[in-house]
Structure 1
Amino acid sequence: MRISSLFAAAFIFIFSTINNAQETDKEGSQDHPLLSRIPGYYISEQIIKDFDVYTSPYIETENVWEGKLTQINYSLKEGSKEFSFIQIIRNYENAVKKLSGKILLSETRILHAKIEKNKAVTYISVEAYNDGRDYTLIIVESKPMEDEVTIDSASLNKGISELGKVAVYGIYFDTGKSVVKPESKTAIDEIVKLLKQNPQLKLFVVGHTDTDGILESNMKLSSERAASVVKALIENGIQAARLKSSGVGPYCPVESNKTEVGKAKNRRVELVEMF
């Protein structure tokens, strides 16, 4: 009987040790410097990607976030104080408000928010589940995707000379909008330089979208975006007769629309030589 008791005690000790070891932060993981964890939770998983796309199924506007993505899964340690869904959400909601952030969505177990500072936009998603024993924090620090080809007049000219067209990924719009964003200035300036260096060159400016949303809306949006780019070029001294805008919506993808990264590549403006 004594041997059995000792064996049981040893088993409990070993099981407890293993369980505690499993409740430590995943090796190499750490809290995001912007927002920390709720006390009593450990990091069970962490994923960091230099550039990725997160599409929220919970909101209809500002629901596509692109940039550096950090996903941290938190789990409650055994014996720690338990938190309800609403406690988890309110904790992060208050933290965001202290950083002068804007709440995009706040429900029982889901929070979406954004923080704008020094022209940088950071999006935040918190989703709690398993009665509050687990929750996921996603932080997307918006930044342009690093293009495979540097956006300059020389590379643009090379693409047009060799293929008759070139894709430009440095022109930015808000989701569902057609106004050219200020951070597009570098790309616009290089297109202007290209046209001034080649006074005989005429261009179709063609807008492209991914397959998300309604086809008719995407066709309209791609046309409006292309027209906005033409307008920006004219405002920078290019003759209107040298430019013509058009939109083809999702009809000419360069990658599969089955992945978020593919969708990001398909959302683009192309310059096509016009004769």
Structure 2
Amino acid sequence: MTPLRAALALLTTVTLASAAMAEAPKTDVAKSADHPVLKRFTGSVLAGYAQQDWEQRSFPDARGVKKDADEFTNPVALEGKVTRLFYLAPLGKSPLEVYRNYQQALAAAGFKVTWQCESEAQGCSKAYFALDKYERMKGMHWAEGDLPATGSEHAGSSWSLSGGISYEQARMLVGTLANGGRTLNLLLFTSVAENTHTGRAATYIEIVEPKAMPTGQVTVDAKAIGQGLQADGKIALYGLFFDTGKTDIKPDSNAQLDQMAALLKAQPALKVLIVGHTDNVGSIDANLTLSQGRAQAVVAALTQRGIAAGRLQARGVANFAPVASNAAEDGRARNRRVEMVVQ
């Protein structure tokens, strides 16, 4: 046993509360829910929950864990909407029973396995330590309760609910699941909840859904616009916002429009094209009309800020000039843009 594991085993023997006070959670943590693609094992309590609109997580690839270290061999960075769930199974349900039920449900839904382990020899305890506790605990919200001992040997003992998976009877399943035209990445880890004295099985799940990072959250200032135009003759501006399929410019665009106008006022001889771009969703004719309408809306907003109409021309080019693949949402988000181009 490594020093880290020995220290962990010692910590799990510490009594945290009296039997009279310790009680396992009976209801789900507030403001939580099962993920739509995977329902809980019957009778389980959703005791820990976190959801981030856009974040990065690391999953193992097909090589699993290293033979000589408690680490994934080749961790794969995944980005998108991240949901993390921690379930406590009912008393009397073994980790194996829980794991097999999840395994069968996922297989029936078309789950494609990237890597799995079901024993110490296959690296399950290493996988437990590779699931960095600090990272998986970050931002988690927990239900009220503890993990009390259920046998007489440790009567009166209980352990902290938070983070309560273990390397005892551990099993891990990692892979992908197609859902609604998207491919979701899913990691499932089932084990004894904290230690054998709790008499419970725990399951930790991470689901990463592909999603474009929210853009337009940084306004490009007048100086940066000028530098971009000087260096490349054009600059893409993602701080200009429109509703899907609409040409009316949204109020959130005002900060970016002010900076565009400031640059044009600082360089009174400068004439520019305002070029609208779309992704490839919809017909070319519809996207030509949409991109032209958006470009015209930006021109109108700049003239309202005192820029002479003769210095501006609006052009819509639909999806004729992509800067990324339209196969995924993050690429489509980059392609939906407005550019300033030096005439």
Which TM-score applies when normalising by structure 2?
A: 0.43
Paired with 2:246 and 2:47, the residues of 1 have a C-alpha distance of: 37
Q: Which of 249, 254, 267 in structure 2 is aligned with 1:185?
A: 254
How many residue pairs are counted as aligned between the two chains? 171
**Which secondary structure state, in structure 2, belongs to the residue aligned with residue 175 of structure 1?**
coil
Aligned mate of 1:36, from 27, 32, 36: 32
Once the 2 structures are TM-superposed, how far is the Cα of residue 214 of structure 1 from its aligned partner? 1.8
Distance 1:192 1:145, change over 3 A: closer
1:217-273: per-residue Cα shift (whole Å, max 9, x none)? 111100000000000001111110000001001110111111211111111000001
* Cα displacement (A) at 1:42: 3.2
What is the match of residue 248 of structure 1? Answer: 317
1:36 Cα deviation after fit: 2.1
1:237/1:255 Cα in 2 relative to 1: closer, same or farther (>3 Å)?
A: same
* Uncovered stretches (5+) of structure 1, i.e. residues with no partner: 1-29, 53-67, 81-135
Residue 48 in structure 1 maps to residue 52 in structure 2? yes
**Structure 1 residue 196: deviation in Å?**
0.1
Report the AA paired with residue 222 of structure 2.
Answer: S
Structure 1 length normalisation: TM-score? 0.53
In 2: Cα distance, 1:269 partner to 1:249 partner: 11
Structure-2 change in CA distance of 1:178 and 1:254 (3 Å)? same
Opposite residue 270 of structure 1, the aligned amino acid is E
Q: Following the alignment from structure 1 to structure 2, what is the Cα–Cα distance between the partners of residues 223 and 243?
A: 13
Query: Is the CA contact 1:43–1:72 (under 8 Å) kept in the aligned structure 2?
Result: no
Q: 1:137 to 1:69 in 2, by over 3 A?
A: closer
Where does 1:191-202 land on structure 2 (aligned, <5 Å)?
Answer: 191-202=260-271
- Check the 8 A contact 2:47/2:86 in 1, yes or no: yes
CA–CA distance in 2 between the matches of 1:78 and 1:220? Answer: 58
Secondary structure of residue in 1 paired with 2:313: strand
Higher-Rg structure is 2
CA distance in 2 between partners of 1:258 and 1:72 (Å): 27
State whether structure 2 residue 259 is matched by structure 1 residue 263: no
The question of whether the paired residues in 2 share the 8 Å contact of 1:222 and 1:246 is answered with: yes
**Kept in 1: contact 2:325–2:331 (CA 8 A):** yes
CA distance in 2, matches of 1:211, 1:78: 49
**Which has more helix, going by share of residues?**
1
Change (3 A) 1:218 1:51: farther
Q: 1:137 to 1:44 in 2, by over 3 A?
A: farther
Give the percent of matched residue pairs that are identical in Structure 1 and Structure 2: 36
Q: Which one of 262, 284, 293 corresponds to residue 215 of structure 1?
A: 284
